[in-house]
Structure 1
Amino acid sequence: MLAITVKQFSELNITELYELLRLRSEVFVVEQNCVYQDVDDKDKTALHVLGKKEGKIVAYTRIFRPGDYFKEASIGRVVVAATERKFGFGKEIMIASIKAVENQLSYTTIKISAQCYLQKFYKSLGFESVGEEYLEDGIPHIGMIKN
């Protein structure tokens, strides 16, 4: 079970910011062998969903209001540390993120840009694929929406 908190960028402490950026880099840049600019200035407008186990961030997402990323509210940078994936933390952090969009932003329509191989996972959370596959940073993605 994760200890989950939702924070604005200005509420993150230095350790949390370091840990979430490190986790994103470990997975998206190193593990997925994808060179891209992760620190993109969008973190400043996002809500950050931190999933901690024994005080360390092991799961994370960031949430955007409608118009900040897509015309709908959105969830992105969904990540779980490789050593922690067997515990269901991906589902736990996504459920918390969906609730945060609904409760803190008061929106129920959510759009994501999902890596194609995770479509089944996101469908289990109520998302439906929309549009065609596309490459984002060399990785196949597809748009998905939850109403």
Structure 2
Amino acid sequence: MTLIWILKPFPALTLPELYALLQLRAEVFVVEQACPFQDLDGQDQAAHHLLGYAPDGELAAYTRLFGAGITYPEASIGRVVVSPRYRRYGLGRALLQQSIAAVGELFGPQPIQIGAQLYLQAFYEDFGFRQVGEGYLEDGIPHIHMVRA
């Protein structure tokens, strides 16, 4: 499946785009993962938002991207999410490829740090990310810091 990719800074998001990305994040991170947490963390305004739309117009994949010094010393990718309705199409890989490319376009070639859910370590390693430091719990879910040099 081929997605239509849109990359925007926060002020350029339309209300329907903002609603769709918040709805998807709540659906997966709060409801599906049964993890009540403060998703609206005040960082969306500093992010660029990568939205992947399915041919039917539904938001199928999303990440937010930061320049160095905002969430980590390095550039970063966060809130990596694929809609449950579109998971069987390999969109997680397409989303991460697009996210890495977008970080390079926006901020130039540089290391990228992520806070990854531990069970996805091998997935991120396929893209050149390597664990740095010890694991930690975030909202009751095991995580690790990973950097792609």
- Offset of 1:108 from its aligned partner? 2.2
Q: Describe the SS at the equivalent of 1:95.
A: helix
Moved over 4 A (4+): none
Counterparts of 1:12 and 1:28, CA distance in 2: 21
* Aligned position for 2:146: 144
Contact 2:74 2:110 in 1 (8 A): no
SS in 2 for 1:67: coil
Question: Which residue, 120, 124, 131 being the options, matches 2:126?
Answer: 124
Deviation at 1:104, TM superposition (A): 1.4
8 Å Cα contact 1:51/1:57 also seen in 2: yes
- 1:51-62, aligned counterparts within 5 Å? 51-53=52-54, 54-62=56-64
Identity of aligned residues (%): 50
**What is the DSSP-based 3-state SS (H/G/I as helix, E as strand, rest coil) of the residue aligned with 1:10?**
helix
RMSD of Structure 2 on Structure 1 (CA): 0.7
**What TM-score does the superposition give when structure 2 sets the normalisation length?**
0.96
Q: How many residues align?
A: 147
TM-score (norm. length: structure 1): 0.98
Is contact 1:130–1:143 with CA below 8 Å preserved after alignment? yes
Mapped pair 1:44 → 2:29: no
- For the pair 1:18 / 2:2, whether they are aligned, the reply is no
- Matches of 1:23 and 1:112, distance apart in 2: 20
